[in-house]
Structures are given as C-alpha cells and as structure tokens.
Structure 1
C-alpha cells in the first residue's frame, strides 16, 4: 500500500461513516454501505450505522418473553378437557357365557382344553369337492374339514370317522376298518 493510500484511507472511512450516520433510515444506510467497492470502507460504513433506535424494539414476539410453563398454562386454559360420555346403564343383567364343548372347538386355533383332546369321532353329513379335487367333509356336529394332501380316500355320507391330532399341529381323518387316513385341516 502506498503512503498516499495509507493517509487517505482513514479520511475516506471517516467521511463514509459520517454519510452513513446521516442516512435517514436503516435501509438507506445499508444500501449506501453495500454500494462501496472497498472492503475496508464497507466495513467502516457498517460499523458507523447507528443501531440505537433498534435497541428499544424487541427482536422476538412478546410470546417468546414468557416462560415455557406460562405458555403451557395458556394452552391448557384454551383447550377444554374432553369429558367421557357417561356409560349407559345396563338394561338386562349380563349372563355368563355358555362354555362350548371342547369337541366343538377341536381343530380350530383355540388354546385351551381343546389341546388336551387327542382325537374325536363324528359322522359325515355331506361331502363336496374343491376345484382342485380336494374333499371338503361336513360333519353332523357342524365342523367342516378340508383334505390337505392329495391321497385317494373313499368317504361316504353317514360314515362314522375319527379325526386325530398329528405332530406339529396337523390332523388326520380316518375310519375303522381301513388302514389309511388323509391329512385334513379344519376350515369351520
């Protein structure tokens, strides 16, 4: 830097600071400072801006001056608590449910006394076939079993059959006098 620049730079800074201070509004002062090409002059201009009028203004909304507990209390007062609807009075006394027989639940995914039963006997009420040729066996008790495997097993209406529990949750249907059985699953 030359000697001339060193001497003129402080004067330039001084005059630019005065001109920035004389600006009527903050926006005008910022615009004048932004227009300066010299970095040092620009910085001096920004430093010379009088910010005292801004000191009286609150930079945040009034609400932010409140504590968190005060804000939470205001919200509680604004939101009305929800009142639960009164429970309707029972019109009839509740009767205990009739416990179904374990035989009627055999084969369904029910965990209870049913697990203790190893086999049941029933009579076939009707036999239908699925599209894929599997037998659907309707029992007199109302249970409906469907063949799972593809083995041939001859069944007739009014035939007495037994269904026994196999390993890993499987069930097998068979009847007396025949040494074979088919794997079935309960569908109803």
Structure 2
C-alpha cells in the first residue's frame, strides 16, 4: 500500500512538472523576437536538470565547478582537459576526420581485367566482355566511356551491387554480371 502511494505521488509530481515545462515551452514559442525566444529557450534548458548519460574522468577544472551549475559544464570541462593532455592525438584525429582510407585489403577485393568488347543494348546501357570471358551490363543510366583494351576493375559495392571503374578515373558505374 505504501509503495502504491509513493508511486502515485511521484507520478503526480512528474506530470505536473511535465505540464509546467510544456507551459514554459509554449510561453517561449509565443515570443515574436528571435533573440528573446532563443534566450527563453536557453533559460528553460538551463533550468531543466537531466542526468549525464556517460561519466567522463574528473579533471581539475571540473572539480572547481559549483554544484549549482548546470550538468553540461562538467563534461565540457572534462573534454577540454582531455584535449589539453593529449593535443597530438586530438589534432591527428581532427586531421584525418572524413578522409576515406583505402587499405591494401580493399585493393585485393578488386577484380582487374581488360575490356575485350563494348556493345550497347537497345536502351543505351553498355554491355562489356572482359578478357576473362565475363560479361557485365551497366545498371544505371550514367555516361561512362570505355574502349576496347582499357584496364578496368570490378569491386563489390553496397547492397550486393558491383561497381566497374578504372584506376585513372575517380568515377565508377554500377554493373551486374550476365554470365
């Protein structure tokens, strides 16, 4: 009985707090000036305290923060402390961010062959016969010029597709094997 009473009381308080936050959000949304509306949202976000999902290692700067400060301050201070302790690691990570790295293993997954013949089907798609007697047909509609004697590679693409390209170009075309 006591547990039910405590659960009901906690639910009532949380629903009132939720309604209060919705009311404050509606109040912030009613501001016509962009800066005032943003300041209202920022003040509302600062007033709402949410637990930090991950615990970062404590830094000397993080211990100086008072308990009344928002919970967001500690992780930011901790990440700056980590960055200050290992600037070489962070700078190398930043330098390599977004670069596509090709490994030797990816080159091994390519099938290299020479083009023996180039034909077009009635719809304009290329039909290629390679030096290893494989026949491949262009799936997409993109334009890709090939001549007899060109050295091409075929590699596995996304979703069980295959890409045909050459080493001297930065473009590929999607193909499927006919035989």
TM-score under structure 1 length normalisation: 0.37
Of structures 1 and 2, the larger Rg is shown by 1
The alignment's TM-score, normalised by the length of structure 2, stands at: 0.39
Q: Which has the higher helix share?
A: 2
